[in-house]
Amino acid sequence: MPRQAREKGEFSTYHIIQRGNDRKDIFSSDHDKNRYIETLVKMKYKYNFIIYAYCLMDSVPS
């Protein structure tokens, strides 16, 4: 049974994580990372939200 959708509040703060399948990298180049940041900035202005911080991380080989 799926969980209920989270209620979104106008003044709420959310911690968002994006991860590849099996924890694989989701960026294959610096160009991909730059494109992601450009898209993030466009959506920030389109939907008027605040970005307090972000971090793009590569996986560490084990």
Break the chain into its structural domains and give their ranges: 25-62
> DSSP characters for 1-62?
-PPPPPPP-TT---------GGG--S-SSHHHHHHHHHHHHHHHHHHT---------PPPP-
pLDDT of residue 10: 80
pTM for this prediction? 0.72
> What band does 62 get if pLDDT is binned at 50, 70 and 90?
low
The pLDDT tens digits of the residues spanning 20-58 come to 888 788 888 999 999 999 999 999 999 999 999 988 887
pLDDT of residue 12: 86
pLDDT of residue 46: 96
The pLDDT tens digits of the residues spanning 7-22 come to 888 888 888 888 888 8
